[in-house]
Amino acid sequence: MAKKEINNDALLANIIKGIEDVKGNDIDILDLRAIENTVCDYFVICNGNSNTQVNAIVNSIQKVVSRDLKDKPWHVEGNENGEWVLMDYVNIVVHVFQKHIREYYNIESLWGDAKITSIENKY
């Protein structure tokens, strides 16, 4: 049975909601669609203040997307240490970092050609 096609806009909105529900910080959306040979359409990058908050953000995203879109990530890795968790929803890849790890890897700089949309913290 083929996986049903999820609308990128709906998935992005649900991912952002999941992050905001548990006060994830510094949300950036990198639009990779205009860049050749990318693995997905979007990166969503955010950070939490601790491994506990990083894992809470990941769990919140999974809960919101599952509840509203009946979808789950194709792959999740990094849950063990909660410093950098990658969630692969095929067209959208979510990176949830602890702040110091995000600053160290600075993956936004690797995708300098991407259009970046920053979401203002709501609290």
CB 108 within 8 A of CB 45: yes
User: Domain range holding 41?
Assistant: 8-110
pTM higher than 0.85, yes or no? yes
Q: What is the pLDDT of residue 121?
A: 79
Split into its structural domains, the chain has a count of 1
> HSE (CB half, 13 Å, CA atoms) of 78?
21
Which ranges of 1-123 does DSSP label H, i.e. alpha helix? 8-21, 51-69, 99-105, 107-110
Q: What is the pLDDT of residue 1?
A: 37
Judge whether 119 lies within some domain: no
Question: pLDDT per position in the chain (123 positions), as tens?
Answer: 344 567 899 999 999 999 999 999 999 999 999 998 898 999 999 999 999 999 999 999 999 999 999 999 999 999 899 999 999 999 999 999 999 999 999 999 988 889 999 998 766
Judge whether 74 lies within some domain: yes
Residues sharing a CB contact under 8 Å with residue 107, sequence separation 6 or more, in sequence order? 43, 45, 95
Judge whether 19 lies within some domain: yes
Q: How far apart are CA 54 and CA 49, in angstroms?
A: 7
Judge whether 18 lies within some domain: yes
Task: Identify the bridge partners of residue 27 per DSSP, sorted by sequence position.
Answer: 119
Q: What is the CATH number of the domain that holds 72?
A: 3.30.460.10
Judge whether 115 lies within some domain: no
